[in-house]
Amino acid sequence: FSEDRLRINYLGSANLPTATDDGKDIIGGLTQRPKSLPPRYFYDEKGSQLFEQICELPEYYPTRTEAEILQQYAVDVAQFTGACELVELGSGSSTKTRLLLDAYENQGYPLRYVPIDVSGEILEESAKQLLLDYPKLKVQGQVGTYEHALSQLTPTPLPRRMIFFLGNSLGNFAPEQCDRFFEQITGLLAPGDYFLLGIDLQKPKEILEAAYNDSQGVTGAFNLNMLAHLNWRFQGNFDLDRFTHQAIYNQSESQIEMYLHCQETHVVRLASLDLTVEFQAGESMLTEISRKFNVEQMQHYLKGRGLNTVQAWTDTKQWFGLLLCQI
């Protein structure tokens, strides 16, 4: 592909296949009690593949429910926003993005897509496939963390920009992270620009817990893979066999909490971070929260940050929501 159609920018340490940093967040999480790990370390190449498998699981409803909403309303989104640059946070395989690209293409708008992901392999692969399938598309990818990649955005040649954050990835942020995230987003959007947000909605505990403790054990493998990722990235010696996966729904916080439980005493060394941590038998480590929202509360929250909802869509079961906001 010509440079005009495909440009991928590796931020941070460009020689690694996945965006990296100095591991400060790892040290912070492992030296806290209770221990925790940042969910972005799920997504090395293997983890991104496992996540794609999760999206296909019968119990994991978010992906297909959001896709259903997009199938129905992507045209409305495109008609609302007019021609705009599409910036996707956590683009992964860009599968749902196609529904948006189709809608913008059908309106006759120029297609300019800026995928942002921590995993370079999946971003590159999906960008190339998109370029084959959309001959008029231009892709300018950024491999890096959201914060870093967003700080590198250059002015768009199109009349507007729409940043979109699908799949309830916002739910993986704690409330303070969420606030900081929106400060950065609203700082980047020009008046009249758009933000499209996919949120998972509150629903019975049984449905939620089944979605995160699937019967094929893919979510368990995804959770454990974070330890394998830390082993290669930071020269560690986590013994994956000593840990088991569990996800519970914390009703009072409206969030799924995903844990790795250590079954036997374990001394872990992460050599390149010069860090040694001890795990006790029975100790739990939090690897992810996945918050579940309510459409009205989210609209209110966004409004407080200067983002006005122009339209909110949901599916027939009201399991998932899609909010189009304008600043």
**Contact footprint for ligand AVI (CB under 6 A):** 54, 62, 167-169, 171-172, 212, 219, 288, 290
**In sequence order, what are the residues at sequence separation of 6 or more whose Cβ sits closer than 8 angstroms to the Cβ of residue 13?**
19, 20
168: left (phi over 0), alpha (psi -120 to 50) or beta: left
Least Cβ distance, residue 44 to ligand AVI (angstroms): 14
Query: For residues 61 and 194, which CB has a smaller minimum distance to ligand AVI in the complex?
Result: 61
Least Cβ distance, residue 64 to ligand AVI (angstroms): 13
Query: For residues 91 and 142, which CB has a smaller minimum distance to ligand AVI in the complex?
Result: 91
Least Cβ distance, residue 115 to ligand AVI (angstroms): 15
Least Cβ distance, residue 204 to ligand AVI (angstroms): 16
Least Cβ distance, residue 13 to ligand AVI (angstroms): 23
The residue number with the shortest CB distance to ligand AVI is 290
Least Cβ distance, residue 254 to ligand AVI (angstroms): 13
- Sheet-wide strand order for 138-143: 6-10, 138-143, 112-117, 84-89, 160-165, 194-200, 320-326, 308-314
DSSP 252: G
Query: For residues 170 and 327, which CB has a smaller minimum distance to ligand AVI in the complex?
Result: 170
Amino acid at 310: V
Cα–Cα distances (Å) from 187 to 11, 147, 190, 305, in that order, read 20, 12, 8, 10
Cβ burial of 18 (10 Å; 0-12, 13-18, 19+) is: buried
Number of neighbouring beta carbons within 10 Å of residue 303: 12
Query: For residues 52 and 125, which CB has a smaller minimum distance to ligand AVI in the complex?
Result: 52
Query: For residues 94 and 326, which CB has a smaller minimum distance to ligand AVI in the complex?
Result: 94
Query: For residues 120 and 167, which CB has a smaller minimum distance to ligand AVI in the complex?
Result: 167
Question: Taking a C-beta distance cutoff of 8 angstroms, is the pair 70, 78 a contact?
Answer: no
User: CA 274 to CA 276: how far, in whole Å?
Assistant: 7
